[in-house]
Structure 1
Amino acid sequence: MGKTTSSSAARPTCPTRRDNLTWESEFVLLGLSSDRHTQAGLSVLFGAAYVLTLLGNGLVLLLIGLDAWLHLPMYFFLCNLSVVDIGYTSSGVPQMLVHFLPEKKTISFTRCGTQLFFSLALGGTKFLLLAAMAYDRYVAVCDPLRYIAAGSPRVCVKLVAVCWVVGFLSIISPTLQKTRLWFCGPNVIDHYFCDSAPLLKLSCSDTHHIERMDFFLSLLFVLATMLLIIVSYVLIVAAVLRIPSFSGLQKAFSTCASHLTVVVLGYGSAIFIYVRPGKGHSTHLNKVVALMTAVVTPFLNPFIFTFRNEKVKEVIGDMTKRLLLRDPAACG
């Protein structure tokens, strides 16, 4: 979902004759800081966060895949969310870590377009998955008798498949249109990865149509799915308040607390970056908030969703006991 950008007088203008047009084949990413010592510290910090993100989300996939107790709709959605988080953080963070090292922080036009496509497609898929998870929580709390049918493996697979297909197909057209733009200098992107808004700002082509399309996709993926989540939770709260016992209330709220936490983190940063008008806002602040989406949220999601879950804790405890008490002779 690209953020809309306002056309400004500073935008490059191409020569009227196409013969004199120079096309930039690579871009320079300014990154987060130009200070060497700051870059060294940030490389260690974000490198460690990236490795822990891969390990945490990988462990979620391993636990849910190996234990039959976790073969439930909620954990199936969590598996897909972990795959999205791994892909999303891998689309930008490795590039950022590499650019902490050399003096010339360049990225080719092809790699820039590829990075842009996967980051936007995975971001859109994630919002659709969060909306699907809200629907799953709604059915589980408000209509538990129907949950067995609504949460069948076939229904879950179809719902998740729609999220992935829509998330990726909707980004193909705007990405292809961006690859046809002309960039005739300057070629410096004030960001740590190729995002839509700073890329469009450098183009000397007419980008009004692409900006409108990006804004529409932002509304579709961010605001529309957020509206679905809000409606789901209004219905959930109404149903929960009718539960007479305190233990029932506590169980219902704990079921939804993790999902709500991730929704607030994900949607808060996305609205700040992609849905606001683009003019007059701090680029540095945008980069900091983008780090929340690319680094912090994927790192925290396994802990928020999974490792605080009582059933997952039991599964981890049982697996640990089996590994510790296994007879070495039986392995032969």
Structure 2
Amino acid sequence: MSRRKVRLFFCLLFVAIVVVHKSHRSPVLVAAAPLVLDQAAPPRLRSYIVAGAPMIKRWPSATDVFYRAGRPYPTALPKPYVDPAFELEMLRLRPTLLASAERHNRQAVTGLRDDEFAVLLAAQLYFEYNSTLATRSKLGRVVTPVYQEAQGVANAIGMGNFSVWPANLRPSVAASLLRAEMPYINALDRPAIRRIPLKIHGSRLQPLLAERGPNWQPSDSAVAAEIDQPNLAVEYLAANFEVASYRAQFDWAPISWMTFAAWHNQGVVSPAHIASNGQLAQVLATIETYIPAAMHLVNVPSPPAFTGVPLEQ
């Protein structure tokens, strides 16, 4: 790539970042009780009912976690926006979501049915792609895909370790999944790695790792190319959720739906670490708003495709 193209790329990336951040409007955060005496306590548990889908009963409320910890939490979230083009992509990914959930849901540990695990995968994908669009102007919604594409180009030419959509995974995290690693903190309070039985279904790179040995590592651009493929992105996301279940089990941390989103977004699993992470207050509450849409996607089959063949009389 010529220097002129590189300069043009970074100029476009800079413009996209500026426009996206200028158009972002975050929901108001308020101090939790007892600092705000007239603020009603959020519900502790939520149940979700969607026609045609199994009921999800008594999942803990994200805002309640922060309320009880005396931390700020969002009180006015925007309506869950779903980009129409992305909704079509999610419909195409529905079989992959169900298959990946079945492969990576350790039911004995998570306590979740496979369809509930698939709902969490779908809600995470909805959040990663749509949540920022919900708070942006029309111009921001137009520029955001350009910003995402620019990050993908930077990864492809080896100029960064930027997140790759639709799963919002960095190549470095995906490479750790390929190596079947579970990061943790050891007794000396230092980062460490433990190997776990983790398989990325459909990956071309993981068999190469096993074949060529530990001295060979795929390039960031090769890893980015895999997680840029929507079906593989779902599989990598499900694998990362599985790592979260291993980490929570290793840390003796209770598992809820928030465990997986907190691990994917901030690398924490324990309730104390979740409650002390200010960014998760908005992230988890926003993901929660996408659960009904995810339930509908996972459990309500789309109508059969029109074939053009007339019905027999």
- Structure 1 length normalisation: TM-score? 0.27
**Higher relative contact order, structure no. (Cα contacts within 8 Å, ≥ 6 residues apart):** 1
Higher helix share: 1
The alignment's TM-score, normalised by the length of structure 2, stands at 0.28
The structure whose Rg is larger is: 1
More strand by share: 2
